[in-house]
Amino acid sequence: MTRRIPASTIRRLSHYLRSLEDLEASGDETVSSEELALRGQTTAAQVRKDLSHFGSFGKRGLGYRIEELSARLRQILGVDRVWKVALIGAGRIGSALFEYPAFESRGYECVAIIDSDPAKIGTYWSELQIHGPDDLESLLAELGVELVILAVPARAAQEMAERSVRAGIKGILNFAPIRLKVPRHVPVEDVNLVMELEALSFAITQHGSEP
């Protein structure tokens, strides 16, 4: 049942999980693929196909038990546990992420902040002291950091990524607008705001010319 999973399926799984959490709050017991599809901007067949990659969690005639399916999705997405995160780069984006409410509430725990600005090193964000980049490797290794959020300028990103990998981290969320070169076993997820804006202006421009 589990072969290579399309990236689009994973994105939708995240959506389904969010919808299930809403439904959980509203007291229902079960949900059909039809309703999940409605909330997720997709089709019932797509929902069932997505889930079928990982097993069969529903009951014919009834639908999916909400509590069970959300637990299962959390497991599949790997968010049924707490991830230790280091934030590298304590600039604007870093601070925005640090204060992002969904962040901690969803099992991502920031255990280290690193920045190269001497004015910031030694100061505190909440309980966390900001470290300089010198002892990055040992710091990450000692704290058991698994996941790094890279929010540094493009020119520093590759070096920080390499050093994080050397410290044994398992994945990178990258905000720098460059393609990081890392070993194949370290997944990188890119967030590129300029790209999103360009996709938007393309869509708008396109729309005008072809209704």
Contact residues for its own copies, defined by CB under 8 A: 2, 5, 7, 10-11, 13-15, 17-18, 39-41, 76-79, 83, 91-93, 95-97, 99-100, 102-103, 106, 108, 146-147, 170-173, 177, 179, 185, 187, 189, 191-207, 210-211
Pick 60 or 181: Cβ nearer its own copies: 181
Q: Minimal distance in Å, beta carbon 162 to its own copies?
A: 18
**Residue 43 binds which of its own copies, DNA, none (CB < 5-8 A, kind-dependent):** DNA
Between helices 136-143 and 154-166, what is the axis angle to 10°? Answer: 50
**Residue 78 binds which of DNA, its own copies, none (CB < 5-8 A, kind-dependent):** its own copies
H or E element: which one contains 50? helix 44-52
The residue ranges of DSSP E strands in the chain, in sequence order, are 30-31, 58-59, 63-65, 83-88, 108-114, 124-125, 128-131, 147-150, 171-174, 188-190
Q: How far is CA 194 from the centre of its chain?
A: 19
**Residue 197 binds which of its own copies, DNA, none (CB < 5-8 A, kind-dependent):** its own copies
Give dist(CA 133, CA 163) in Å, integer.
10
Q: Which of 7, 119, 194, 203 binds DNA (CB under 7 A)?
A: 7
Q: Minimal distance in Å, beta carbon 134 to its own copies?
A: 26
- Residues with Cβ within 8 Å of 210's Cβ and at least 6 positions away in sequence, in order, are none
Total residues found in the chain within this entry: 211
Give dist(CA 105, CA 82) in Å, integer.
10
| Footprint of DNA on 27-86 (CB under 7 A) | 32-34, 42-46, 48-49, 51-52, 56-64
Q: Which residues bind DNA (CB under 7 A)?
A: 1, 4, 6-9, 32-34, 42-46, 48-49, 51-52, 56-64
